[in-house]
């Protein structure tokens, strides 16, 4: 049984359709990466599964149950959610922010879970520091720890590597990979195609609110898909630690069917 599933999911925001019949599943033990250009629907998929974006049609299923019929607590027990937004209104210590991910535990147990999650993301030294006194990257680790502290059956992470340095990006994907290996279903949205190819079991490519590819990374991110969806002239090169992307941007104004690629970067 899939821990996360969208079946014919259609949704709109401000009169604009942001999801159009999306079919998607994530099984326990699987890390699935959502990729696509800006506005493709990545955040909308994650928010629909988190119960934050109502569907016009279709269903969002959590652990076999229709999310629309679940209480907030039942939904939170099934899926932890890490949003893109990293603003925290109050200058709370990191350990208290992380403990908010486990609201149904006693205070002592929640703080213990929070400390373990901070250690997991290599932020244990920040436990007693106020989040307003941290860099953006440090806050990102604390908020990831909050999601990990929930220890839900599934984890929804929206752009968790945005704004992080390369080493921290790798750390985040390694932790998500480890969570999937330990039995969680992990759905993560990413802009970095190489990170997605290196760490995900499957890659789901979105464009215009629709799924245009859903397969193992190299089968989903073919040169044809990257040209059509991202406007890239791209190919994969096998590196010592996984696939590397050699890509260039198609020049503007070259016309359909005769697009000219810029030099690879």
pLDDT, tens digit, 9 for 90 and up, residues 195-217: 999 999 999 999 999 999 999 99
Tell me what pLDDT residue 250 has.
73
At 254, is the pLDDT very low, low, confident or very high (cuts 50, 70, 90)?
A: very low
pLDDT tens readout for residues 27-69: 999 999 999 999 999 999 999 999 999 999 999 999 999 999 9
pLDDT tens readout for residues 70-94: 998 999 999 999 999 888 888 999 9
At 265, is the pLDDT very low, low, confident or very high (cuts 50, 70, 90)?
A: very low
pLDDT tens readout for residues 94-116: 999 999 999 999 999 999 999 99
Compute how many other C-beta atoms are within 10 angstroms of the C-beta atom of residue 108.
9
Tell me what pLDDT residue 251 has.
57
Backbone angles phi, psi at 224, to 5 degrees: -65, -45
For tokens 């907030």, what's the residue?
72
Q: Over 50: is that where the pLDDT of 184 sits?
A: yes
The answer to whether 47 and 82 are in contact (CB under 8 A) is: no
Angle 95-97-101 from CA coordinates, rounded to 5°: 105
Cα separation, 169 vs 161, in Å, equals 5
Backbone angles phi, psi at 146, to 5 degrees: -60, -45
Residue range 127-146: average pLDDT?
95
At 259, is the pLDDT very low, low, confident or very high (cuts 50, 70, 90)?
A: very low
**What is the torsional sign of CA 177, 210, 50, 59?**
negative
Contacts of 222 (CB under 8 A, 6+ apart): 213
Tell me what pLDDT residue 262 has.
35
The answer to whether 166 and 241 are in contact (CB under 8 A) is: no
Give the percent of the chain with pLDDT over 70: 94
Average pLDDT, the chain: 91
Would you mind telling me the total number of residues written for the chain in this entry?
Answer: 265
Between these two residues, 112 and 249, which has the higher pLDDT value?
112
Tell me what pLDDT residue 63 has.
93
Start-end of H helices in the chain: 42-49, 72-78, 94-99, 107-120, 136-149, 166-181, 193-199, 217-220, 223-230
Compute how many other C-beta atoms are within 10 angstroms of the C-beta atom of residue 127.
18
């Amino acid at each position: 049984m899939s821990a996360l599933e969208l079946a014919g999911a259609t949704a709109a925001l401000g009169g604009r359709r942001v999801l159009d019949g999306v079919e998607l599943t994530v099984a326990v033990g699987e890390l699935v990466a959502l990729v696509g250009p800006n506005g493709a629907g990545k955040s909308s998929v994650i928010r629909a599964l988190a119960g934050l974006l109502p569907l016009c049609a279709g269903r969002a299923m959590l652990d076999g149950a229709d999310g629309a019929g679940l209480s907030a607590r039942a939904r939170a027990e099934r899926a932890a959610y890490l949003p893109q937004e990293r603003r925290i209104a109050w200058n709370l210590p990191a350990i208290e922010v992380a403990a908010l991910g486990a609201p149904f535990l006693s205070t002592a147990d929640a703080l213990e879970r929070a400390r373990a999650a901070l250690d997991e993301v290599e932020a244990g030294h920040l436990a007693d520091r106020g989040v307003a006194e941290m860099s953006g990257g440090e806050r990102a680790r604390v908020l990831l720890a909050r999601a990990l502290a929930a220890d839900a059956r599934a984890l929804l992470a929206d752009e968790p590597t945005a704004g992080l340095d390369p080493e921290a990006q790798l750390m985040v994907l390694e932790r998500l990979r480890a969570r999937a290996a330990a039995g969680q279903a992990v759905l993560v949205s990413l802009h970095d195609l190489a990170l997605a190819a290196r760490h995900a079991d499957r890659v789901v490519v979105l464009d215009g609110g629709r799924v245009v590819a859903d397969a193992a990374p190299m089968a989903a991110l073919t040169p044809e898909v990257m040209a059509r969806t991202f406007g890239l002239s791209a190919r994969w090169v096998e590196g010592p630690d996984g696939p590397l992307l050699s890509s260039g941007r198609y020049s503007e104004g070259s016309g359909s069917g005769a697009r000219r690629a810029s030099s690879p970067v």
